[in-house]
Structure 1
Amino acid sequence: MIRPTRTSPALLSAGLATIYLVWGTTYLGIRVGVETIPPFFLSGIRYLLAGGLLFTLVALRGGLAGGWPSARQWLSAVLTGTGLVAIGNGALSWGEQYLPSGPAAIFIATVPIWMAILGRVFLKERIGLLASIGLAIGLGGLVVLVGPAALKGGDLVPMLACVAAAIGWGAATVYSRVAPFPNNPFQVAGMQMFAGGAVVFVFSLLSGDAARFHLGTVSTRSELAFLYLLLVGAILGFGVYIWLVKVAPLPLLSTYAYVNPVVAVVLGHFLLGEQVSLRTVIGGGVIVLGVALVVASRSINETRAEPADRPRLGEPEPAASASR
């Protein structure tokens, strides 16, 4: 395992704070964006532009010197991009038309839980005691959040859409571990975002979602939210994350998985005036605890399992985080 590069505590803290704030606020950005922009159209345009820009920057910096990605690598990008962007971000954006950003972020925080389950089912990865406890706790938190809506017929469908988004993210990330990809993580992220953006954009056209887009009816709030999601959420957030992968200890870096939903709930309340119910606090707290245990277990297992000469950036998993 490549050991983290020595970096000043202040700079490391600034990087982590950036990830917490940027990815925690993307849920607010989506909530504001879908006020006047159709959700699938928003996701498609955002990731077509972000992926195209990132892939172009990689090419200009010599990232394609080893050759153009193969057909198999592009197919992997389409499959993972569909999970990360078309399902992961598209379903989330649709759900946030009806749900506040805070609860939506809590549902997405369950991604590590679905990764553990799907990794066990498809890759036969072992789930230790700590992770098993985390899974049980996290799924229990989901029941707390979704159960009343299922019984009373409330916002059940938007909630399930956000759960589906988390499962899509988890499935794509698990598949990324075995899929053929180029070695450059920035190139992989550009391919995934562009391919996923293309898939969800086509869906937007076929479903009639894009037909509801009229530039004259887009509010200034939604325009600014779109620019924030594109430039800050996708480009800046991913760049800082890749830097942190190189300099931060894995357990410390993994904290974003359960800090981001807390940031989203707090800022959603203060910036958007979203009401935070007791059920959201209890269910969200239980989910965050479960996710923390799963992430801690994975960090411990990866630290023990990786040989000294294996790069920690060997998996394209950071690209999954770029889809925030």
Structure 2
Amino acid sequence: MGRSRNTTLIILAFFAIYVIWGSTYLLNKVAVLELPPFMLASLRFTTAGILIFLLAKLMGIDLRISRKQLQNTILAGFLFLSFGNGVVVWALRYVDTGFAALEISAQPLIILLMMWILEGKKIKPMSMIGVIFGIIGIYLLVSQKQIITKENSILGMVMIFACMLSWAYGSIFVAKADLPKNYFVNTGYQMFTGGIILALMSFGFREEWTSPLSWSFNVKLVMVLLVIFGSILAFTSFNYLLKVVSPEKVATSTYVNPVVAMLLGWYFLKEEVTTQSIVAAIVLLTGVYFINTKKTLAIFERFKK
């Protein structure tokens, strides 16, 4: 019964990081066209962190953690949220939602290469094919004239790649680090500390903060969705999965995220989906498939052991 319950949790957690995170590109794009990016991300994550702490208190969950765990959650919060997410939000001012999601779809490739460089993990032949497909896909994606000729688009691409490096290292770090055992508490500390760092980044870049009362209805709605679903639900699911399955498996969310993001960007924001972008998506996701060639049931492999 316990194993069945945990399997269900894993499936629901994957749904959260697959579909809900795919929609956050659209939500962030809508909000960042009106609000400064680091202020937006700071309010999102700080609010989510505080709400998690309040919920934990109501549920009787102990929020006390060790000094080492606090240090680790601060580092994880910076890698995933302050830099890894905050800079992506900033970059969305200059690139389309579908493009950003497609570029980030190469995340499993980055994690694989980083595990090889940092941990000496051998790259299997099938995974090497995936790496080659990934490189070709990225080239097809970023070489489109109608994309690279847009103002600051190349800067946006480069900064998103830097965010991918941050997320990749964070995924490897979190898989082994001493973190709070409760996934809810772990998420809360990462959200809150990551949000505080984003506030400092916002002040450092001299962003102008505005009252939520002055925001448009759409931005208020987007912020609620980002806090509850994109932050609390999806990020708690993400932290949970990093402990029960391998980082490469968690990164398979990039199969679905770009498809969701492209469809939503096309439908709601009338973003152009070029033939070359579709080809690049197919090539990139084929590469991700080769990196993770085992059947879907392999997702539960570590749990079953």
**What TM-score does the superposition give when structure 1 sets the normalisation length?**
0.79
Post-superposition Cα deviations, 1:108-146, rounded to whole Å, max 9, x if no partner, equal: 222222111111212222321222221221122112222
* Matched-pair contact (CA < 8 Å) for 1:5–1:247: no
Aligned to 1:316: none
Give the one of 160, 172, 197 matched to 2:158. Answer: 160
* Matched-pair contact (CA < 8 Å) for 1:141–1:287: yes
* Structure 1 residue 282, shift from structure 2 partner: 1.6
Q: How many pairs are equivalent?
A: 302
Aligned to 1:136: 132
Post-superposition Cα deviations, 1:7-56, rounded to whole Å, max 9, x if no partner, equal: 999x9988766654322211100010101111111111111111222233
Aligned to 2:267: 270
Gaps of 5+ in 1: 310-324
Aligned CA-pair RMSD: 3.7
Whether 2:288 is the aligned partner of 1:291: answer yes
Whether 2:88 is the aligned partner of 1:92: answer yes
* Structure 1 residue 279, shift from structure 2 partner: 2.2
- Amino acid in the other structure paired with 2:132: A
Identity of matched residues, %: 28
* Matched-pair contact (CA < 8 Å) for 2:33–2:93: yes
Aligned to 1:42: 40
Whether 2:115 is the aligned partner of 1:119: answer yes
Q: Distance in 2 between matches of 1:213 and 1:203?
A: 16
Aligned runs of 1:60-99 on 2, under 5 Å?
A: 60-64=58-62, 68-99=64-95
Aligned to 1:322: none
In structure 1, the residue corresponding to 2:179 is in which secondary structure? Answer: coil
* Structure 1 residue 147, shift from structure 2 partner: 3.1
Gaps of 5+ in 2: none
Q: Distance in 2 between matches of 1:38 and 1:79?
A: 24
Q: Distance in 2 between matches of 1:22 and 1:303?
A: 21
* Structure 1 residue 178, shift from structure 2 partner: 2.4
Aligned to 2:202: 204
* Matched-pair contact (CA < 8 Å) for 1:114–1:171: no
Whether 2:224 is the aligned partner of 1:227: answer yes
Q: Distance in 1 between matches of 2:294 and 2:162?
A: 24
* Matched-pair contact (CA < 8 Å) for 1:149–1:156: no
Question: Cα 1:92–1:284, aligned 2, differ >3 Å: closer, same or farther?
Answer: same
* Matched-pair contact (CA < 8 Å) for 1:83–1:168: yes
Aligned to 1:24: 22
* Matched-pair contact (CA < 8 Å) for 1:29–1:225: yes
Question: Cα 1:115–1:59, aligned 2, differ >3 Å: closer, same or farther?
Answer: farther
- Amino acid in the other structure paired with 2:194: G
In structure 2, the residue corresponding to 1:5 is in which secondary structure? Answer: helix
**What TM-score does the superposition give when structure 2 sets the normalisation length?**
0.84
* Structure 1 residue 255, shift from structure 2 partner: 5.0
Aligned to 1:5: 4
Question: Cα 1:108–1:286, aligned 2, differ >3 Å: closer, same or farther?
Answer: same
Q: Distance in 1 between matches of 2:59 and 2:148?
A: 55
Question: Cα 1:117–1:244, aligned 2, differ >3 Å: closer, same or farther?
Answer: closer
* Matched-pair contact (CA < 8 Å) for 1:40–1:90: yes
Q: Distance in 1 between matches of 2:274 and 2:114?
A: 31
* Matched-pair contact (CA < 8 Å) for 1:138–1:290: yes
